Structure 1
Amino acid sequence: MFKFSGFKNQFLQPKYWLTWFGLGCLWLLVQLPFPIIRAIGFNAGRLSRPFLKRREAIARKNIQLCFPNNTPADTERLVAENFKSLGMALLETGIAWFWSDRRVRKYFDVEGMENLQRAAAQQRGVMVVGVHFMSLELGGRIMGICQPMMATYRPHNNAMMEWVQTKGRMRSNKAMIDRRNLKGMVSALKKGESVWFAPDQDYGIKGSSFAPFFAVKDVATTNGTFVLSRLSRSALLTVTMVRRADNSGYRLYISPEIENYPTNEAEAAAFTNRIIEHEILRAPEQYLWVHRRFKTRPAGEVSLYV
């Protein structure tokens, strides 16, 4: 019946039937022509706003904090576009998991592929700094089509969904590494592998430094990038994928190798945030603003989300 590695008969139990149904609907939707998929995704995101008021408020607050000079109209336009991207993100996940390589290749181009090839040729590992755009799942698939690599992630709480997402992500990449597995990441980099790592979320106070991020002065920023760089001595560059301005497909941007990376944690955190800011500004409406990026505050400070 199912021959995929890691499949368990328990996934056929009734408690998973609703999940199977949802995955089946997603599979059917992404069989449609891309323009129809795009229209469904954008409209789904737009119509979801009344049901996701808390996430809408978080997105609006994040945008106001990062871009205080925006007019209210600019902010609301960005929130509206962000929810269109949020709706499209679900279908982009289906595209990433279920489309063939041949079909995926029709809808993307790459800028800077030579940068990744040049860094990988040095045989000292490549740490690929990623950013949480809405199309991240599809970006991982496309990145792997260009050059298979390893990626860090948070395992899914649902055992069946963990199997499904891992199978989907492994269609074009080498391996998934638990983001808490520092030893595994360092080992892979020292062996000359390319490892994708996204340091742009709030992982709490432990293992973080406070550094500026856009207009927010003190933002908890993981020291993971600094630690991995110091322990592995790997090359460092960014890979970002965004939807093209005309929505006809996607563009993967690969930066040249990043030089002059700081040698202490505080400076490295600020340096990393500046890199992430640059990538976000490629398409700010497509970034994951619904994440509470500023939930961790320095001691004594009140929450920015009150």
Structure 2
Amino acid sequence: MNKKYRKLPRNTDYSAYRHPRWWPTWLGIGLMWLVAQLPIRCQWWLGKLVGLLAWRLARSRRHITEVNIRLCFPELPAAQQAALVRKSFIANGIGLLELGLAWFRDPAKLTDITQVHGLEHFEQALAQGKGVLLLGGHYSTLDLGGSLVTEYIHADVMQRDHNNPLMNAVMTRARERRYGTVLGAKDLRGLFRSLKKNHAVWYATDQDYGRKDIVFAPFFNIPAGTITATSRIAERSGCAVVPFSHVRRDDGPGYEIFFHPALENFPSGDDLQDATLINSTIEREIRRAPDQYLWMHRRFKTRPDPEAPGFYGRS
């Protein structure tokens, strides 16, 4: 968490943010609200500009993205890797503007440009009565995709707090309007309560969380630190683990949501086997639209050998 906000309380009551120190954040939130009122084609165009600007100026993030693309797509010529880096920034720029859609607009108004595939897989898993862990990933449509999903299913969500307490308040209140329950990232008791009620819970495992409780499983053929908590949760609760993803369509403003059959033989009793299955499942969804993944994250920061040189240098 940003040191500037580390000791501040996480309060979702807007009256706690009247002090002038919060005015710049309020200004940014107001700008997000205004942009969210624009036609979606205009928002995509502005998002592309934001992404291209970040591609030019955010050198550290561009370096991380270049390293990740080079590691994960070695079969692509250098020119195509560079093009994918650029497209990734554009996709995430659009995703940044889509936060306003997710937080301040009614997602029901986007259902006419949204296609849902495999909803029967989710319904079959929920019918087992032990809850569903929705295995998602950090795609550029993260918040908007989640909001759209709640137009078709009832779900709870686990979230990591935003560094800025005011932005966290806006994000949390927006998600509380869409989801049944908003759980903290470490609220395992709340998670198990939701699963016991036969709820679905949005859950993502595809980031590098350090060395605690992980195994190194292949992700695009690179050993990646992968948490084992998913296996523990499924083992203890008996819940089904249903992969799902959401992508932005290339043929015009529109979105697609994909639900897949619940993971079979999960948990298997072998943490490495389970983590490998999870990573390959997420990798499959990323390959559906490679530019729409959050490649700016240092996914391979933790190496199997602590003494081995890092992939990212001083990025």
What is the root-mean-square deviation of aligned Cα atoms in Å? 1.4
Q: Partner of 1:64 in structure 2?
A: 70
The whole-number CA distance in structure 2 between the counterparts of 1:102 and 1:279 is 25
The whole-number CA distance in structure 2 between the counterparts of 1:108 and 1:205 is 39
Q: Could you tell me whether the CA contact under 8 Å between 1:202 and 1:221 is conserved in 2?
A: yes
Q: Could you tell me whether the CA contact under 8 Å between 1:82 and 1:286 is conserved in 2?
A: yes
The whole-number CA distance in structure 1 between the counterparts of 2:88 and 2:61 is 11
Residue 121 of structure 2 corresponds to residue 109 of structure 1: no
> Cα distance, 1:180 vs. partner?
1.4
Q: Partner of 2:3 in structure 1?
A: none
Paired AA for residue 76 in structure 1: A
Query: CA separation of 1:248/1:101 partners in 2, compared to 1, >3 Å: closer, same or farther?
Result: closer
Q: Partner of 2:253 in structure 1?
A: 248
The whole-number CA distance in structure 2 between the counterparts of 1:100 and 1:181 is 28
Q: Could you tell me whether the CA contact under 8 Å between 2:208 and 2:302 is conserved in 1?
A: yes
Q: Partner of 2:192 in structure 1?
A: 186
Residue 241 of structure 2 corresponds to residue 236 of structure 1: yes
Paired AA for residue 278 in structure 1: R
TM-score (norm. length: structure 2)? 0.92
> Cα distance, 1:8 vs. partner?
4.1
The whole-number CA distance in structure 1 between the counterparts of 2:108 and 2:230 is 34
The whole-number CA distance in structure 2 between the counterparts of 1:69 and 1:132 is 23
What secondary structure sits across from 1:87 in the alignment?
helix
The whole-number CA distance in structure 2 between the counterparts of 1:64 and 1:202 is 18
TM-score (norm. length: structure 1)? 0.95
The whole-number CA distance in structure 2 between the counterparts of 1:43 and 1:84 is 7
Query: CA separation of 1:58/1:6 partners in 2, compared to 1, >3 Å: closer, same or farther?
Result: closer
Q: Partner of 1:222 in structure 2?
A: 227
Q: Percent identity?
A: 37
Which of 267, 273, 294 aligns to 2:279? It is: 273
The whole-number CA distance in structure 1 between the counterparts of 2:36 and 2:15 is 27
Query: CA separation of 1:300/1:287 partners in 2, compared to 1, >3 Å: closer, same or farther?
Result: same
Q: Could you tell me whether the CA contact under 8 Å between 2:62 and 2:85 is conserved in 1?
A: yes
Query: CA separation of 1:247/1:225 partners in 2, compared to 1, >3 Å: closer, same or farther?
Result: farther
The whole-number CA distance in structure 2 between the counterparts of 1:81 and 1:55 is 14
After superposition, the C-alpha distances for 1:57-116 in whole angstroms (9 at most, x for unaligned) are: 100100111111110011011001001012111111100011123322233121111111
> Cα distance, 1:156 vs. partner?
2.1
What secondary structure sits across from 1:145 in the alignment?
coil
Q: Partner of 1:303 in structure 2?
A: 310
Which of 49, 52, 55 aligns to 2:61? It is: 55
Q: Could you tell me whether the CA contact under 8 Å between 2:244 and 2:258 is conserved in 1?
A: yes
Q: Could you tell me whether the CA contact under 8 Å between 1:45 and 1:84 is conserved in 2?
A: yes
Paired AA for residue 74 in structure 2: P
> Cα distance, 1:170 vs. partner?
1.8
The whole-number CA distance in structure 1 between the counterparts of 2:193 and 2:308 is 38
Q: Which runs of 4+ in 1 moved over 3 A?
A: none
Paired AA for residue 56 in structure 2: P
> Cα distance, 1:295 vs. partner?
0.5
Correspondences of 1:35-54 after superposition (within 5 Å): 35-54=41-60
The whole-number CA distance in structure 1 between the counterparts of 2:138 and 2:104 is 21
| Gaps in structure 1 of 5+ consecutive residues | none
Which of 15, 18, 34 aligns to 1:12? It is: 18
Correspondences of 1:195-206 after superposition (within 5 Å): 195-206=201-212
